[in-house]
Amino acid sequence: MKTTIELDDALLAEVRRRAAAEKKTMKAFLEEAILARLRPQPRSRSRYRADLPVVAGTRPPAVDVADRRALYDLLDEEPT
């Protein structure tokens, strides 16, 4: 099917340049570009999973972690 579209001069020049670089006709280049835009994009990308090292502690904390005041006091202490 034939149709007429108006393109910006710079865009048309870029289409011609890229089509020539890929050794394609403008028709083939534009069909491929339009189809790529119209196709649904795959959404099944695998999520990134970080493998963090597990470090064994030396002993359990000497403070009740539910007690905010005790935690602040522990953090304010000078190391010995």
pLDDT at 26: 95
For the stretch 43-54, pLDDT in tens is 777 788 888 888
How would residue 41 be classed by pLDDT, with cut points 50, 70 and 90? confident
Q: Which is nearest to 28 in space by CA: 15, 42, 9, 14?
A: 15
Section 3-28 average pLDDT:
95
Q: Between the CA of residue 20 and those of 8, 15, 80, what are the distances in Å?
A: 18, 8, 73
Section 7-12 average pLDDT:
94
Q: In terms of pLDDT, which residue wins out, 34 or 42?
A: 34
